[in-house]
Amino acid sequence: MMNLTTRYLGLTLAHPFMPGASPLTENLDTVCRLEDAGAAAIVMHSLFEEDIHDGAAAFDMYLEQVLRIKRRVRVPLIASLNGSNAEGWLQYARLLARAGADALELNYYYVATDAREDGRAVEGRLLDIVAVLKESVTLPIAVKLSPFYSALPNLAWQLDRIGADGLILFSRFHQPDIDPRALEGELRIDLSSSADLLTPLRWTAILAKRFDASIALSGGVHEPIDGVKAVLAGADVVQIVSALLRGGPERLTAIRTGFERWAESNGYDHIDQMRGRMSLEGDGAHATERSLYKRRLKSWHAAGAPVAGH
């Protein structure tokens, strides 16, 4: 059997596949089904800062769910906080640690709408939150990022330097539609597909092997081959949500076993032999990206048009 053991946030996991933050963990029976399906760890649904500001009840319920899950499952449990301000998070992070959470996922979802706020201020807000948490709690911290930063490798470098234990690529960017009759935003969640894998795959390949922080790929993993691509790009772990919402917890088993089958048939004995083989490592990453960009554009030709060189 292939050795799939991996390390994430200082935790030793049986393999790299786990559910990402989603409503699935709001139900304890579903959490148990996820563990039975072979989840390497359980990532809690996110606790939103807006809910905390509305009163302590939301946090008390979340804390109780952490305690229930810790009593029922044997795999590591990762709590998740979603917000954009540091206020109050330190207190809640400490309480989550006391409740038994093995790590903390910080989902920094912030859309810059103020024209007077520059990119440095936006990044500074995130760095300040992570720095305060790292100085004050012992939990490993993973930071879930958006792909929409002008210099993402530099931000990743700064997060790694101040002690972030992991980077999650990426937070799903939900974009409300417009209802032209009601003249209001139309709220609709579209689940991802394998086509959404390309953005996190690209940035995983760019960032892998550059930092001490673990890298989790999140978004677009629906088939075993998607997981193969994620690990080849350099992901330490793979988070899955939409495929589980569609197919149930058992879909995780299918993805993991399919991944293992593909790896064994291609001559791999250990996952470390695969990880990062397609990463854009070192100083040549920019040149490689430019070369791939040029080749992609030149690979297309209109139907019926002659192909270059023929």
Which tens digit of pLDDT belongs to each residue from 70-103? 999 999 999 999 887 776 678 889 999 999 999 9
Is residue 107 scored above 70 in pLDDT? Answer: yes
Q: What 3-state DSSP class applies to 43?
A: strand
Q: What is the pLDDT of residue 284?
A: 62
Is residue 304 scored above 60 in pLDDT? Answer: no
pLDDT tens-digit map of 191-250: 999 999 999 999 999 999 999 999 999 999 999 999 999 999 999 999 999 999 999 999
State percent of the chain over pLDDT 90. Answer: 74
Is residue 169 within 8 Å of 203, Cβ to Cβ? yes
**Residue from 219, 121, 124, 126 nearest 168 by CA:** 219
Is residue 6 within 8 Å of 271, Cβ to Cβ? yes
Which has the higher per-residue pLDDT, 301 or 4?
A: 4
Q: What is the pLDDT of residue 299?
A: 79
pLDDT tens-digit map of 7-53: 999 999 999 999 999 999 999 999 999 999 999 999 999 999 888 77
Mean pLDDT of the 171-191 span? 85
Q: Is 180 left (phi over 0), alpha (psi -120 to 50) or beta?
A: alpha
Is residue 158 scored above 70 in pLDDT? Answer: yes
How does residue 185 score in pLDDT terms, banded at 50, 70 and 90? confident
How does residue 310 score in pLDDT terms, banded at 50, 70 and 90? very low
Q: What is the pLDDT of residue 247?
A: 97
Mean pLDDT over the full length of the chain: 91
Q: Which of 112-116, 151-155, 162-166, 228-232 has the lowest mean pLDDT?
A: 112-116
Per-position DSSP letters for 102-167, written without gaps between them: SEEEEEE------TT--HHHHHHHHHHHHHHHHHH--S-EEEEE-S--TTHHHHHHHHHHTT--EE
Number of Cβ within 10 Å of residue 151's Cβ equals: 11
Q: Domains along the chain?
A: 6-176+188-299 (3.20.20.70)
Q: What is the pLDDT of residue 244?
A: 98
